[in-house]
Structures are given as structure tokens and as C-alpha cells.
Chain A
Amino acid sequence: MANEENKNIKLRVEDLTLIFGKRKKEALAMLNKGVSKEEILRKTKCTVGINKANFEVFEGEIFVVMGLSGSGKSTLIRCLNRLNEPTAGKVFFKDHDITRAGNKELMDTRRNEMSMVFQNFGLLPHRTILDNATFGLELRGDSKEARYERGMEVLETVGLKGYEEHYPGAMSGGMQQRVGLARALANNTDVLLMDEAFSALDPLIKSDMQDELLQIQGKLHKTIVFITHDLDEAFKIGDRIAIMKDGVIEQIGTAEEILSNPASDYIKAFIEKVDRKTVITAETLMFRKPTIVQLGKDGPKGAIRKMRSTGVYVLPVENTERKFLGYVELKDVIQLARQKERTVEKALQTDVPSVHREYTVEEMIPLISENSYPIAVVDRKSGRLHGLVTQTSIVIEATRYDDDEVTELIEKANEI
């Protein structure tokens, strides 16, 4: 992300290690010496759950930890609020180390700073929805009136108004998880830990809940650590994603960074299945700093010279405020040069496709068949040109995913 430096770090995890088994110290010493996991298991019968995880979570972002079962992702999130006790390493929250917190401090953190949503909801079947949603408040000793007032508020936020007196057993999975989410929101904590929160839901409901979460997040700007085994889910909701394998974080980055630059073969194999069209954006595909014709500065002859030196027959045009205007074509400028025109204005094609940098390949595909110009990526505010995306690169991106789509595109192109 471009402005990473300006972001406040909410959670910082340093060399977090968790070892299961009885001879932890021995295993840790071996791990520090660089002995392999298998060797450690054989010699000490200890399993390395998490192996020196390092990452930061910024304020207001959704940080997704992705991994298959057994990768240690659920163990990792449980170290953040110490449902699992880390063997070594530090977890900084607001610059104090949670792993060193005393009982009282830890309790306080869990009650007021971090709340959690669970895969199988973890609701209490003998309590009503309202009593479930306000359970965290009850535990920390809020008064009944304050509790219920807040409870009604959060139930409305998650769309469960009117269900206060129902019992969880009578509700669908999606609705139960809404209660789980309401319970986590009720404590009004800055940090939300979500452990496979939507994994137990049907695909359709899952997708709804993801949208809902993004919508709620748009309003509340929580700092969310989200665990999932579903890469599509990770790419959909994650601002940044950490991919875990065998207790090791293999790569951290935005969806695009991971897709366009996978750090290992494991990740490469993983992302092959992902629908790249929906993830790769104009910003990744565009070539930056293209040669530009400036209206009012470059005349037709200047434009021809630039085209000759770059070997293209179409160039983008900007005005003196560097706002993108359109394209000029070689054949038009040659005519203008013959007519001894001073500017290229008459040759300017303004009806051209332009997108913003966050447009995905999928959104750019329809623009291809309209004409043969490259697609201009312009700034939303200033209208300045960031770069150009050639139609070829879009087709290539699309073809990596689906052969039929390419055939279709080629057919369309031929028709025109």
C-alpha cells in the first residue's frame, strides 16, 4: 500500500512461536538452532504450531490470515488474546506486550480491547439472542439497562432487530453468526478477532455475511484480524493478507501483491485457482510514465517525432495542467502537419476509455472491444494520467483464467 508509513500500528507480533507438547524448552532451543520441525517432533515429541510469526496490523484494516487446516492460523489468532499461551515471542497491543500481561490486565484487554467471533458461533443455547449479544457486557459487570440498550443497538447493526427474545437453536447458521458478530461488537472494542467466522455457513449466506461485514466495517472502522481457509474470501475482504503454511507465514501483502508476485511455489500453486480477473487491477497492469503529447506545447510535428521514437501510432494527450484529454493517432497528426496546423487539437479523440487505478480486469474487459486504444488510467481527483493499460495485457490476464473467454474476446474483436 502506498501510504503504509502514515498508518498507526494497532497490533505488532514479533517472533511469535507456539510449541505443543511437554518438552517445550528443549524444542524451542532446537527450533532456534534451526532444526527442522520433523526432527523436533521425532526427538522431543513436540509439535511446532507457530514458527516465529512476524506481522503488523494497522488501525482500521482487515488483516486476513489465510491457510489450510493445520497451518496454525487458528492457533495464531488465539495467541493474540492468549486463549493459547505462546511459547515465545511478543504481541504488542498499544505498545504494551500482551504476552506479559498479568491476569487482571489480560481480563481487561479481553473485556474492553479485543473481542472475538467464532467459527461455530459459540452461543449459549439457554439464553435469548439479546442475552447472548450482551454476554460480554454482563461478564464485565455492566448494568442491565446499559447492557440491554447497547444490545438492541448492536442487534440492529447486524440486522436482527425484532429477534431479541428468540433462542439461538431456532435460528439459521447465518443468523446465529450475526448474533456472534453482535456480541463482539457490543463490547465496543477496537480490535475484532474473527476465527473462520463464515466458514461454517452456506456459500450464499457466506457471501452475504462478507458483504455485511464490509458494510459494517465501512461504518465502524474496526481493526479486524480475520482467519480463513478460503482464498476467495481472503481476497474479497482482506486489505492485506498473510498466507500461512505449517506454522510459518509465507507471505504478507495485498491481494494484488500476492497474485502478481507470489513468494513461493506453494503460494503460486494456491493462487492458480483464484479468479485473477476480479483481483488484478489497472494499477498492476498499466505501464507507467508513457510518452505524452502536451496540448499547447507539442504541435503535430512534435507528436510525429514522439511517435517515431517510441514506435507507436497512438499517443495520449494532456493539457498544460497535465489533465488527460484523449488520444491522437498518427494518420490524423500527419494530415494536420500537412495542413500546417499549430496544435493537435483537431486530431484529438476524446471519446476514449478511461478507468481509475482500482478497476479490476473484469471491469476493463468490456472496454476492450469498443476501440483499439489503450485504456488510460487516470486519477480520480486531478484527472492526471497514471499510466496506460494495453488491450493485449488485459486479454492475457483474462486468458490465464479461462480459455473460453479468450475465444469469445477474439471473436468479438474480429467482428469489429
Chain B
Amino acid sequence: MKKVIDLGKYIEIAINYLQVTFSPIWDAMDDGISWTVDNMTAFLLSIPFVVLLIAITFLAYYANAGRRSLKKEGFKKGLGLSIFIIFGFLLIYGMGYWKEAIQTTTLVLVSTVIALIIGIPFGVLSAKSKIADAVIKPILDFMQTMPAFVYLIPAIFFFSVGNTPGVIATVIFSVPPAVRLTSLGIRNVQKEVIEAGRAFGATENQILFKIELPLAMPTILTGVNQVILLSLSMVVIASMVGARGLGSIVYQGIQQNNVAKGFESGLGIVILAIMLDRITQAFANKNQINKDE
């Protein structure tokens, strides 16, 4: 087929232009993200395995049991996940992928934090302004439907290989639910509650921080949960541009046609995913329970 419209060429020109013109910014971002990821990984690895295992087990237990931690019903609620984490982590450690698991966790957490820092304000904006919403929505659709691999190419362009392009690609892929669910949460806040705030002389900022965001919190936390899971689903893809962790082992498994390697590391990712999902979900639910109690 003959190519009539050479759109890709213009995109390439634009990307080139951006890369050259703003290179100090890209460099700074690269330095910042690499520094954070490296130091966080190093810090987590410096903690003895047993200590970290106990700490995360307790965190998971508290997330589920909450204020009833010391009571029987709390015990019932929190026990399952705690046992799962203990066995899961022992398995990862035993398979020899502890370091990779920590690297993956760090990557996911850093991406999640960046995605939320970007996503929540845009979510607020799209809830507040119809025009902003009309602009943001198609962009989100674009970000979510564009195959994730495509983001890798310019990411390498801007940041070369390593953790940074992995984080950036992950952030682009996982930002949409943060924006969407923040926006949804805020738009679903009962009109009368906001009106009550207005009637008592609340400023726009007070309405946002004292009424809308707290009431939207359960929905926003569901968004956080989604962001984390999407980030995890990106780790294998991110490893293609040099991001370290369990994803890179899976990638190696594919390249070497090594079923054992692929399965072990894949299972590690599943265990991390279940842990992160259950803990964040428990925190989201706890926020909801507070209201009905």
C-alpha cells in the first residue's frame, strides 16, 4: 500500500524537537527517578528479610482488622491475608528472587506515587470544569488504548535504557484510573453537603479539602488500587527497556525459552499483586466503614 499521510514522520519530528529543546528537563527527571528508585531499593534490601516480612505481615493484618486488631473478630478478618503473605514471601525468598521482588515493588510504588501526584489534581480539575473534562477524557482514552509498548520507544529516546523509561511508561499507562476515579468520586459527592458547606461560608478550597476530597476518598482509594495493579501489569513490558526486577526475569525466560524461570518469576509477580491489591483494598474499605459505624 502506498503511504499517503505520513503522520508518524511528524510525530517523530515533534518528539525529536521536544527531546533536544527540553533535554535539561529530561535529564533532571532521569536523575530524580533513578536516584529515588535506586535508594529505595537499596534501603529495602538493607532491611533483613525477616524484619520486612514481619512488618508487611503486620501492616496487612492492621489494614484488614483495623481498630479491632486485638479482638477476635479482627483476628478472623486479618488472619487469611497475613498467612498468605508469610508463605508467599517465603516462597519468593526460597526461589531466590527476593532482590528482584523488591526492585519490582519499588518500581511499582514509585510509579504509583507519580501517577497519583499527576492523576488526582487532573481528576479534581475534570470534576470541576466541563471544558477540562472534555479535553482530559479523550486524552485518557488515548493513553489507555494505545498499546503500552508504543510508549517505550519515546521513553528510551528521552531517558535511554534503565529504570526511568520503565517508570515513565508505567506512569502513562496507569494514570487514567487515578484521574477517572478521582473525578467520579468528587462528582458523586452529594450536592446538599456541598451546599451546606457553601451556606456556612466555605471558600472553594475549604469545600475541596474539607468536603469533596474526604467524601471522595473511598473512590479515590479504589483508583489507587487500580493504579497499583496496572503498574504491576507493566513490569514485564518495562523490563524490555531495561527496568530491573521480576519482570526482567520473565523477559529472560521468554528469550531463553526457559519455562522454569518464567513460571517462578511470574508467580512472584502474582504474589506481589495479590498482596498490594488486598492491602490497598482493605484501606479503601476501612475508609468506608468509618461512615456507617
Q: In the complex, are the beta carbons of B201 and A124 less than 8 A apart?
A: no
Minimum Cβ distance to chain A for residue B212 (Å):
11
Residues of A within 8 A of B200 (CB): 110-111, 115-116, 135-136, 139-140, 183, 187
Chain A contacts with B in 276-291, Cβ cutoff 8 A: none
Chain A contacts with B in 109-133, Cβ cutoff 8 A: 109-111, 114-116, 118-126
Q: Give the size of the chain A interface in residues (CB under 8 angstroms).
A: 31
Q: Which residue of B lies closest to A81 (CB)?
A: B199
Q: In the complex, are the beta carbons of A139 and B197 less than 8 A apart?
A: yes
Residues of A within 8 A of B68 (CB): none
- Of B199, B203, B292, the residue contacting A116 (CB under 8 A) is B199
State whether the Cβ of A41 lies closer than 8 Å to any Cβ in chain B: no
Q: In the complex, are the beta carbons of B199 and A170 less than 8 A apart?
A: no
Q: In the complex, are the beta carbons of B293 and A170 less than 8 A apart?
A: yes
Q: How long is the Cα–Cα vector from A169 to B291 in the complex, in angstroms?
A: 6
Residues of B within 8 A of A108 (CB): 201
Q: In the complex, are the beta carbons of B198 and A124 less than 8 A apart?
A: no
Residues of A within 8 A of B217 (CB): 126
State whether the Cβ of B192 lies closer than 8 Å to any Cβ in chain A: yes
Q: Which residue of B lies closest to A108 (CB)?
A: B201
Q: How long is the Cα–Cα vector from A121 to B191 in the complex, in angstroms?
A: 11
Residue interface bits A373-408, CB-to-B below 8 A is 1, else 0? 000000000000000000000000000000000000
Minimum Cβ distance to chain A for residue B129 (Å):
18
Q: How long is the Cα–Cα vector from A136 to B199 in the complex, in angstroms?
A: 9
State whether the Cβ of B202 lies closer than 8 Å to any Cβ in chain A: yes
- Of B192, B203, B210, B215, the residue contacting A120 (CB under 8 A) is B192
Q: In the complex, are the beta carbons of A118 and B214 less than 8 A apart?
A: no
State whether the Cβ of B56 lies closer than 8 Å to any Cβ in chain A: no
Q: How long is the Cα–Cα vector from A81 to B199 in the complex, in angstroms?
A: 7
Residues of B within 8 A of A168 (CB): 291
Minimum Cβ distance to chain A for residue B207 (Å):
9
State whether the Cβ of A146 lies closer than 8 Å to any Cβ in chain B: no
Chain B contacts with A in 259-293, Cβ cutoff 8 A: 287, 290-293
On whether A167 and B293 interact (CB within 8 A), knowing A110-B198, A135-B200, the answer reads yes
Q: How long is the Cα–Cα vector from A111 to B217 in the complex, in angstroms?
A: 27
On whether A122 and B201 interact (CB within 8 A), knowing A169-B292, A170-B292, A170-B293, the answer reads no
State whether the Cβ of B196 lies closer than 8 Å to any Cβ in chain A: yes
Residues of A within 8 A of B195 (CB): 83, 118, 122
Minimum Cβ distance to chain A for residue B191 (Å):
9
Residue interface bits B88-118, CB-to-A below 8 A is 1, else 0? 0000000000000000000000000000000
- What bracket does the count of chain B residues touching chain A fall in? 20 to 34
Q: How long is the Cα–Cα vector from A136 to B290 in the complex, in angstroms?
A: 22
Decide if the interface of chain B is mainly helix, strand, loop or mixed.
helix
Q: How long is the Cα–Cα vector from A108 to B210 in the complex, in angstroms?
A: 19
State whether the Cβ of B206 lies closer than 8 Å to any Cβ in chain A: yes
Q: In the complex, are the beta carbons of A124 and B211 less than 8 A apart?
A: yes
Q: In the complex, are the beta carbons of A110 and B291 less than 8 A apart?
A: no
Q: In the complex, are the beta carbons of B193 and A124 less than 8 A apart?
A: yes
State whether the Cβ of B23 lies closer than 8 Å to any Cβ in chain A: no
Minimum Cβ distance to chain A for residue B279 (Å):
21
Q: Which residue of A lies closest to B199 (CB)?
A: A116
State whether the Cβ of A413 lies closer than 8 Å to any Cβ in chain B: no
State whether the Cβ of B190 lies closer than 8 Å to any Cβ in chain A: yes
On whether A139 and B201 interact (CB within 8 A), knowing A116-B196, A118-B195, A122-B193, the answer reads yes
Q: In the complex, are the beta carbons of A124 and B215 less than 8 A apart?
A: yes
State whether the Cβ of A107 lies closer than 8 Å to any Cβ in chain B: yes
Q: How long is the Cα–Cα vector from A44 to B200 in the complex, in angstroms?
A: 34
Chain A contacts with B in 159-207, Cβ cutoff 8 A: 167-170, 183, 187, 193
Q: How long is the Cα–Cα vector from A169 to B192 in the complex, in angstroms?
A: 16
Q: In the complex, are the beta carbons of A136 and B292 less than 8 A apart?
A: no
Residues of B within 8 A of A81 (CB): 199
- Of B192, B196, B203, B290, the residue contacting A107 (CB under 8 A) is B203
Q: In the complex, are the beta carbons of A167 and B290 less than 8 A apart?
A: yes
Q: How long is the Cα–Cα vector from A286 to B290 in the complex, in angstroms?
A: 60
Residues of A within 8 A of B290 (CB): 125-126, 167
Q: Which residue of B lies closest to A114 (CB)?
A: B199
Q: In the complex, are the beta carbons of A122 and B203 less than 8 A apart?
A: no
Residues of B within 8 A of A125 (CB): 215, 290-291
Q: In the complex, are the beta carbons of B293 and A120 less than 8 A apart?
A: no
Minimum Cβ distance to chain B for residue A344 (Å):
65
Q: In the complex, are the beta carbons of B215 and A126 less than 8 A apart?
A: yes
Q: How long is the Cα–Cα vector from A183 to B200 in the complex, in angstroms?
A: 9
Q: Which residue of B lies closest to A135 (CB)?
A: B200
25 contacts between A and B (CB under 8 A): A81-B199, A83-B195, A83-B199, A107-B201, A110-B199, A111-B201, A116-B200, A118-B195, A118-B199, A120-B190, A120-B192, A122-B192, A123-B193, A123-B196, A124-B214, A125-B215, A126-B290, A136-B200, A139-B197, A139-B200, A139-B201, A139-B202, A167-B293, A168-B291, A169-B292
Q: A170-B293, A183-B200 given. 4 additional CB < 8 A pairs?
A: A83-B195, A110-B199, A120-B190, A120-B192
For the complex of A and B, 9 pairs with smallest distance between CB atoms: A122-B196, A111-B201, A110-B201, A125-B291, A136-B200, A116-B199, A122-B192, A169-B292, A169-B291
